[in-house]
Amino acid sequence: MNKTIILAKVHELFMKYGLKSVSMDDISRQLGISKKTLYQCVANKRDLIREVFQKHIKEEETAINEITAQSKDAVNEMIEIAKYVTALLREVSPTTLYDMQKYYGDIWGMMEALHQGYIYETIKTNLDRGISEGLYRKNMNTDIIAKLYVGKTMLIVDEDVFPLKDYNKEKLYLEYVHYHLHGIALPKGLKLFEKYTK
C-alpha cells in the first residue's frame, strides 16, 4: 500500500471520527497494515495529521483551480466554489475541527496560513474578474474586500462565535456567500446570481 492511499484513507477516518479518538492502532487496523509499516511512512501521529491535511489543501486548491478555469463568469465561479466548499463541509465532523484547534493548534495555524494565502488570491482574482466583466462594483478596493472575505471565513469556523452545536456550518457558509455577493455585485451580477441559484 503506497503512501498516497494511506493518507487518503486516514483522511476519511479523521473526517468521520475526529483526530483525538483515532489512534495509530485504529489506523493500522482499518488499513490492514502493521503499525511498523505505518511508522515507516510517518514518524508519529502529529506528523501523519500534518501530511494528511497538507495533501487535503493541495487537492482543494487543484479542484478550485479547475472550477475557476471552467466557470462562465465571476458570479458563476463564486457559486461553484461555494458548492464545492459546502460539499467539503458536509464531510467534516465538528469533532475534527474542534480537535484540530484544541490539540493540534500548530498544525491548524500552518494550515490556515496556507489556506488564507490561497483563498485571498482566489477571491482577489475573482473580484478583478467580476469588475472587468461588469458584474461587480468598480468602486471597491479588491485587496481590502479579499482580506475581509478571508477574515470572515475564519469567523465561520470560530467555535466561540458560531458553536457547531447551534449552527449548521453549510448554512453558515451559504449565508456568508449570499452576503458577500450582495455586497459586491451590480444589478447585472445579481441577476446572474438569481439565475444560477434557482
**Which letter does DSSP use for residue 164 in this model?**
T
Coil vs helix vs strand at 45: helix
Q: Kindly state whether residue 18 falls inside one of the protein's structural domains.
A: no
Q: Kindly state whether residue 15 falls inside one of the protein's structural domains.
A: no
Q: Kindly state whether residue 147 falls inside one of the protein's structural domains.
A: yes
* CATH number of the structural domain spanning residue 106: 1.10.357.10
Higher pLDDT, 23 or 160: 23
Domain enclosing residue 139, as ranges: 45-197
Predicted local distance difference test score (pLDDT) of residue 166: 92
Predicted local distance difference test score (pLDDT) of residue 142: 97
Q: Kindly state whether residue 118 falls inside one of the protein's structural domains.
A: yes
- What are 97-118's pLDDT values in tens digits? 889 988 999 988 887 887 789 9
8 Å CB contact between 136 and 184: yes
Q: Kindly state whether residue 8 falls inside one of the protein's structural domains.
A: no
Burial of 142 (0-12, 13-18, 19+ CB in 10 A): middle
Q: What angle do CA 47, 53, 54 make, to 5 degrees?
A: 85
> Which residue blocks in 18-165 are alpha helix, DSSP H?
24-31, 35-41, 45-70, 74-91, 94-103, 105-132, 142-156
All three cell numbers of 145 = 474586500
All three cell numbers of 147 = 482580506
Q: Kindly state whether residue 10 falls inside one of the protein's structural domains.
A: no
**Alpha carbon 143 to chain centroid, angstroms:** 20
Q: Kindly state whether residue 14 falls inside one of the protein's structural domains.
A: no
Q: Mean pLDDT check: name the lowest of 55-59, 79-83, 146-150, 156-160.
A: 156-160
The count of domains in the chain is 1
Q: Kindly state whether residue 40 falls inside one of the protein's structural domains.
A: no
Coil vs helix vs strand at 90: helix
All three cell numbers of 37 = 509499516
Neighbours of 75 (CB within 10 A): 28
Residue 188's alpha-carbon distances to 56, 59, 94, 132, 194, in angstroms, are 36, 33, 38, 13, 10
- What are 127-171's pLDDT values in tens digits? 999 999 999 999 999 999 999 998 888 788 787 898 878 998 888
8 Å CB contact between 18 and 99: yes
Coil vs helix vs strand at 136: strand
8 Å CB contact between 20 and 101: no
**Which letter does DSSP use for residue 185 in this model?**
B
